[in-house]
Structure 1
């Protein structure tokens, strides 16, 4: 939605005036699924930028830290640059990438494979640029694994009659084995929301960019692959191959098993939510993923 810049919050307008004079219009660019975050695309003459109000001081710090990481790990064509940040306003101002969000694009099979290979390369460079691991990071990861194991157990109770024997066995494995399996896997700095809705494809330069760093944090490398593993790869093994060609290495045996169990938890969650809300997209996504995961696991 196109807005006059005067419609922005007054304190945000005053802050922007110090960093981007002459803002004429603003376009609401917030994700509908994230009502707690507010994002606008701003235009001042020929300059386009984005301003975001984070939902909390914690997410604001996490994202500003991630922009510094992105500047070190990726090029200007691959990640926006932080122009300014204000902790009091929980506001960040960043450059705009040229291109369009991949999730919205009708791509040919050839270009889609190219995009997924580039995505793998981006993620590998993001992961390989090390950041100091906070002392409590492992504790937080293990708490998440415990929670996901408990969720898998609850899904098993709720979905029992909707699952095949092989699918039930796999969900049971998540509930039983996930925390111990992941206890000694190394931690890396994650993007945290790595999916085509945060990939920007520039068809002119044939480059891919990465946006939205609000969920960046230290965790297991495979956690940046769960969405792809649950929503894309079950029906597009070709894109999985392209992605790992770009990533530059296959997963270790333990990483592969961790991704399998984490994706199973996500797929069971999709199916449970879809059945509860009569959402056929989630039902199909959950069933497709569980079916493929159980097939390849046996």
Structure 2
């Protein structure tokens, strides 16, 4: 792992034009090469985050989300956009109180409440935005688009998968292509405990994968991760969300989990991340055994 990343002078100058003089800069990047995030602290103690998106598409998605959908989650429940720069793919946002729930020593009651509130906030987000025109077309085609990528992912996986697993995932992809209509909304797109903050109140961060889509896609990371370990957190999240998934949504979620597992397996192997690889393998084992729920 490399050392702390320095904030370029041009970005620091841009930020100071927007929020005033910065007294302290702290590298807040994730431990991967393309993550570039800094915490900026003014002399009055106000904190902000400056994030450089690794791709234009991610910059566009997060900027759109912060402007048009995220405010529906409520004050203090997500970052507020202060400024954006298409030239630098940079976003400047307010800081949100709290730390990721996966990093906190929470009591069972606190953990349950954090996930319940997380589900409540996702429900607000899913109902936000204007789902018309090309946004609706994109959302309605999302499942077929996901299925279309299965062959490439399976080819990349090669003999990491058993022949029966190749067959299983191809079948799940085919089922996605013929799935009937399911509820659509504006999803966070990366909803898992790393992006769920807790300070006595829940908040979500990290909207670079947000988009209009079937809302069942929102729960793939959770279903393949923390929900598998703690079914009570599934109950907590959906209690806050306000409803259970429909049978059609549950079926779509299972199909998406298979595709996600292959993608995660490939990514984990390529980046030497045994945790991601292990989660992907566990999901495939659950799907093969027919116990994914």
TM-score range, shorter chain: 0.7 to 0.9
Q: What residue in structure 1 maps to residue 138 of structure 2?
A: 137
1:295 lines up with 2:293 in the alignment:
no
Segment of structure 1 superposing worse, 142-151 or 152-161: 152-161
Q: What residue in structure 2 maps to residue 74 of structure 1?
A: 73
Q: What residue in structure 2 maps to residue 147 of structure 1?
A: 148
Find the partner of 1:185 among 182, 186, 201: 182
Q: CA deviation at 1:63?
A: 1.4
Q: CA deviation at 1:139?
A: 7.2
Find the partner of 1:171 among 163, 169, 179: 169
Q: What residue in structure 1 maps to residue 40 of structure 2?
A: 42
Give the number of equivalent residue pairs.
287
Q: What residue in structure 2 maps to residue 99 of structure 1?
A: 98
Alignment deviations for residues 113-154 of structure 1 (CA, whole Å, 9 cap, x no partner): 111111111111110124234525147625532334325654
TM-score (norm 2): 0.85
User: SS state of the match for residue 19, structure 1?
Assistant: helix
In structure 2, stretches of 5+ residues that fail to align are: none
In structure 1, stretches of 5+ residues that fail to align are: none
Q: What residue in structure 1 maps to residue 256 of structure 2?
A: 262
CA distance in structure 2 between the partners assigned to 1:260 and 1:222 by the alignment: 10
Q: CA deviation at 1:86?
A: 2.2
Q: CA deviation at 1:258?
A: 0.4
8 Å CA contact 2:101, 2:194 repeated in 1: yes
Q: What residue in structure 2 maps to residue 12 of structure 1?
A: 11
TM-score (norm 1): 0.84
Q: What residue in structure 1 maps to residue 86 of structure 2?
A: 87
1:195 lines up with 2:189 in the alignment:
no
Segment of structure 1 superposing worse, 147-156 or 171-180: 147-156
Q: What residue in structure 2 maps to residue 61 of structure 1?
A: 60
CA RMSD of aligned residues (A): 2.9
CA distance in structure 2 between the partners assigned to 1:214 and 1:197 by the alignment: 14
CA distance in structure 2 between the partners assigned to 1:93 and 1:275 by the alignment: 33
Q: Which runs of 4+ in 1 moved over 6 A?
A: 275-278
8 Å CA contact 1:2, 1:26 repeated in 2: no
User: SS state of the match for residue 213, structure 2?
Assistant: strand
